[in-house]
Amino acid sequence: MPEMNGLEATPLIREKFPETKIIALTVHDNKEYIFKILRAGAHGYVLKDTSPEELVRAIESVARGGAFFSPAVSNVLLQDFVRAPNSPEPVQENQLSGREQEVLRSLALGKTTKEVAAELNLSARTVETYRVRLKRKLNARNVAELLNHARKQQLL
């Protein structure tokens, strides 16, 4: 069998083992590679120069159902989001309800739907409804874009 890189292997892993959580551990910090890995289904993206403690945090966060990005990767994603020329104006913080801000903050911190539900005394279904609403309001396609918005609005 020919050798595959992580980008090629990720969809195959997800097809055979859909519950598997994937964290990319790489030296690549350019946005094109980051987006390709995320589109392929990775839940986290950690640079190889990360500390052992940060790697443990990444594994724990993804294992709980969250996402994790090295700070340098988050900065790349944030810069791309802020500089995107054709993206619609982001929703201002005051256009999100207090509860939407709480849910966004918790999700951006890598908490799972169940953890957010327990923390905010909501049902998991209600948290999922908030997640869908936040994605729609913020024109976000994934958790990474929600994280970018939360950081931009200083909700973290």
Task: Catalogue all structural domains in the chain, each as residue range(s) with its CATH number.
Answer: 6-83 (3.40.50.2300), 93-152 (1.10.10.10)
Other Cβ atoms closer than 10 A to 40: 18
pLDDT one digit per residue (tens) for the chain, 156 residues: 344 455 566 666 767 777 888 888 888 888 788 888 887 788 888 988 888 998 998 899 888 888 888 888 877 777 766 665 555 444 444 477 888 888 888 887 888 888 888 998 988 888 888 888 888 888 777 777 777 777 777 666
Query: Taking Cα atoms as reference points, which of 69, 60, 65 lies closest to residue 29?
Result: 69
DSSP single-letter state for residue 6: H
**How much is the pLDDT for 92?**
47
- DSSP, collapsed to helix, strand or coil, labels residue 2 as coil
Strand partners, 26: 47
Strand partners, 47: 26
